[in-house]
Amino acid sequence: MNDENDTERSGEETNLSELPVLNYYEERRRYPRVDLRTPVIISMRDGRELPARTRNVSAGGVQLRCDRQTSSILHPTGTHIKPRQGPSIMLRFDIPLRGKPRPFAAVGRLIYIAACRPNEFAFGVKFTRINTSGRALLAEFIMESLRPRE
C-alpha cells in the first residue's frame, strides 16, 4: 500500500493493473472492453451535472475518470462501494461510429472507486438502463472496435 502512495506522490503514473480493486473487477468482467476516451456528462438525482471522461466501455458498463472535486460529489466518503449500494447516475456521451459522433445515454450504478493519481479517480459504472437504440449503438461500436484492422 505504501508503494502506491509513494508512486502517487512522486508524480509518476500509477499502473492501474497493479491496483487490487481494479484487478478484482477486471477478473469479474463478462463483456469485452474497448478504449473510449471522450467527455461525459454525469447527471445526479439532485439535478447537478458533473464533468468526467470515459476510459473504456463494454456492453455492461463504463470506466470513468474524474478529478477530486467530481469524485467527492459522486461518492463523498471515498471508501469502498458495497455491492448494489452505489449511487445511480445518468450518463451522456458521444460514441464515434463510422467517423461520426453519435449521442448515447444510459443510467448506471457506481460499483467501484480507485485513486489513480492525487487528482484523478477511476469509477466503474454498471449500466442498469439503456434504451434499445442506445444498446444497438453501443454493440455496433464495440464490434467495430474489436474487428481486426486491414
Contact by Cβ (8 Å): 58, 32: yes
Mention every residue, 6+ apart, whose C-beta is less than 8 A from residue 31.
Answer: 58, 59, 60, 61, 142
Q: Left if phi > 0, otherwise alpha if psi is -120 to 50, otherwise beta: which for 30?
A: alpha
pLDDT, residue 15, reads 38
User: Are the CB atoms for 53 and 31 separated by under 8 Å?
Assistant: no
Judge contact between 65 and 51, C-beta under 8 A.
no
The correct answer on CATH 2.40.10.220 for the domain covering 2-146 is yes
Phi, psi dihedral angles at 42 (to 5 degrees): -100, 125
Q: What is the pTM of this model?
A: 0.77
pLDDT in tens, 99-129: 899 999 999 999 999 999 889 999 999 999 9
Residue 127 burial by Cβ neighbours in a 10 Å radius (0-12, 13-18, 19+): buried
Residue 148 is predicted with a pLDDT of 83
CB-CB contact of 102 with 94 (8 Å): yes
Q: How confident is the model at residue 47, as a pLDDT?
A: 93
What rounded mean pLDDT belongs to the chain?
83
Q: Residue 29: what pLDDT?
A: 54
Query: Which tens digits make up the pLDDT trace of 11-53?
Result: 343 333 444 444 444 445 577 899 999 999 999 999 999 999 9
Q: What is the domain partition of the chain in residue ranges? A: 2-146
Mean local confidence (pLDDT), 62-74: 95
Of 21 and 92, the one with more pLDDT: 92
